[in-house]
Amino acid sequence: MGAELISALFGGLVGYAMASGGKTPTDAEVIEALRSSKPTFFNRLSLNTATTRTNEKHEIVGNFLKVENPEDVDVSVYVRLNELESEPIDLTKEGLIKAPIYRFYITNSAGTGTLNLTVGRAFGFELQDAITKVDIVAQHISELSVDISAQSIGNISVDITAQTIGNIDINAAGSDIQMPIDIQGALIMMPIDIQGQYITLDIDIVAQTVGNISIDLAAQSIGDVTIDINAQTVGVSIQGEWQVEQGNQKNISGGDDDLAPSYYTTLYYDIPVGKVLYIYAASFSIRATDYATDGDKPQIGWGTIYTTSGVTIAQFGGNGGQVFPFGLPIKIVAGDRINFDVYNYAAHNCNIRHCILAYEKSV
């Protein structure tokens, strides 16, 4: 057995030691042995599986056999190490075979794809897997593009403590996304377009000023929407104020002059189809028609508000008039009629004016 083969089978140092009678070689002796034997450290071999092989012999010497791409072929490729009597090993199921090799035999049926092999000839020579985990602590990163097209991804934890961040574009098309975000930057512009089928989105805004927040909810069902406003100025209108603000107020007034005692004036309104009237106040005033003669006398009036459907809503009276605000709005539905009569209960003729304050909503 020559010095080259011994070196190849058992590694540079061990092989040289065996060839040197068991004593430990010096570095100079190892270098000299390498220089004289001139070993090559590895050989590459490509096997196109379109070619059918039966114990195809390869005279390559080495200490290990590495399969580079077992996933690229669709048939099993078998190797018998050194001798035909060796048990066949399916290369497509092995990543690395470590063994003394001076030759091997390849067998495969017809398939597609090319299997690449590397046969190394010394223990001091290694091929490592690709690096897939990166820990970056650089003080400045210019561009970091990551394109992930995997069908399923576990957890991606990102901890960015840089003082300035350029653009972060996130396009999440997953059907279920939970994405807690804690941003404490002094200036943030963050357009978010979320089209997920299920979204949990907690927002806590403590900014000192908030401009416009436009929310367009097109969801078919919305659960709870909790709003906690701690702003220093907030305008909140009650229903009546809001309806007036929207131009839905209904002020209905009337009256008569020179009404004799026990006579009355009236006004009435039929609620239109598709509307509901809410009355929140009513008033009347009454004064003597002949003010010079009866002006110092009691000017007693009595008002009654009722519907044609038979409901008496309010009765009130007073000397000179009265204002009657309702604690709750009185609701009158479409098709019914609201009537407001005011009687002259003074002992002389009087002029009477009366008014209903309400708002009307479409239904």
The contact set with another protein (CB under 8 A) reads: 247-256, 265-272, 275, 337, 360
Least distance in angstroms from the C-beta of 279 to another protein: 14
In the chain, alpha helices (H)? 3-10, 12-19, 27-37, 239-245, 291-294
Closer to another protein by CB, 95 or 335: give it: 335
Is the CB of residue 355 less than 8 Å from the CB of residue 280? no
Distance separating alpha carbons of residues 93 and 294, to the nearest angstrom: 118
Q: Which of 131, 172, 142, 135 is nearest to 157 (CA)?
A: 135
Least distance in angstroms from the C-beta of 251 to another protein: 5
Token pair 């078998």 is found at 78
Closer to another protein by CB, 68 or 256: give it: 256
Is the CB of residue 116 less than 8 Å from the CB of residue 68? yes
Strand 176-178 relative to strand 198-200, pairing: parallel
Report which secondary-structure segment, H or E, holds 317. strand 312-319
Least distance in angstroms from the C-beta of 269 to another protein: 7
10 Å CB burial of residue 44 (0-12, 13-18, 19+) is exposed
Least distance in angstroms from the C-beta of 332 to another protein: 12
Least distance in angstroms from the C-beta of 356 to another protein: 9
Closer to another protein by CB, 94 or 270: give it: 270
Distance separating alpha carbons of residues 271 and 262, to the nearest angstrom: 29
Is the CB of residue 19 less than 8 Å from the CB of residue 3? yes
DSSP label at residue 188? -
- CA angle, 86 then 88 then 93, to 5°: 140
Answer positive or negative: Cα dihedral of 125, 131, 133, 136.
positive
Closer to another protein by CB, 79 or 271: give it: 271
Least distance in angstroms from the C-beta of 275 to another protein: 5
Closer to another protein by CB, 37 or 283: give it: 283
Closer to another protein by CB, 39 or 254: give it: 254
Least distance in angstroms from the C-beta of 207 to another protein: 36
Least distance in angstroms from the C-beta of 299 to another protein: 20
Least distance in angstroms from the C-beta of 256 to another protein: 6
Closer to another protein by CB, 58 or 275: give it: 275
Closer to another protein by CB, 86 or 251: give it: 251
Distance separating alpha carbons of residues 67 and 288, to the nearest angstrom: 115
Order of strands, sheet of 300-307, starting from the edge strand that comes earlier in the sequence? 264-270, 337-344, 300-307, 312-319
Closer to another protein by CB, 264 or 326: give it: 264
